[in-house]
């Protein structure tokens, strides 16, 4: 029932917006819970690295819009996003309809979610593509 309410509010907010340049914050995404960073690709040099499940986890708490990152990677030569810590996060719908995730105020790319996987993709600006699984 809560999901229907959030979707209805989202439709109203999107439908009433007269300014196409305004980002809309998405209140409920289904990202709640623990996710494992399993792969990083991209970057200027063409990184492609798989991480063992559980080595780097992101634990999302939608009600407080925080993510607790546990990063146990000890290889400093590998791109692994953020160090361990608790950060705020926001998912916005940007101009053109793409959803993007901001962590600690930093836009870390396009956000795409399925039932057991999500990706953060900033390869359009020579960044990285991060793949997470439950």
Give pLDDT tens digits along the chain (134 positions): 545 444 545 455 555 444 444 444 444 568 999 999 999 998 887 889 999 999 999 999 999 999 999 999 999 999 999 999 999 999 999 888 889 999 999 999 999 998 899 999 997 777 899 999 99
Contact 67, 61 (CB under 8 A): yes
Half-sphere exposure of 37 (CA within 13 A, CB side): 28
Domain limits, the chain: 2-133
Q: How far apart are CA 35 and CA 122, in angstroms?
A: 19
Contact 32, 118 (CB under 8 A): no
Whole-model pTM: value is 0.76
């Amino acid at each position: 029932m809560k999901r229907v309410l959030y979707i209805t509010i989202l439709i109203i907010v999107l439908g009433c917006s007269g300014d196409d340049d305004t980002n809309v914050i998405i209140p409920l995404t289904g990202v709640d819970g623990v996710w494992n960073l399993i792969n990083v690709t991209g970057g200027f040099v063409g990184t492609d690295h798989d991480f063992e499940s559980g080595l780097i986890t992101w634990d999302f708490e939608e009600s407080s819009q925080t993510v607790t990152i546990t990063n146990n990677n000890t290889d400093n030569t590998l791109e692994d996003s953020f160090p361990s810590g608790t950060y705020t996060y926001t998912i916005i719908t940007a101009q053109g309809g793409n959803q993007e995730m901001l962590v600690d105020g930093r836009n870390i790319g396009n956000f795409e979610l399925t039932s057991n996987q999500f990706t953060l993709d900033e390869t359009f600006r020579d960044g990285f593509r991060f793949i997470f699984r439950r």
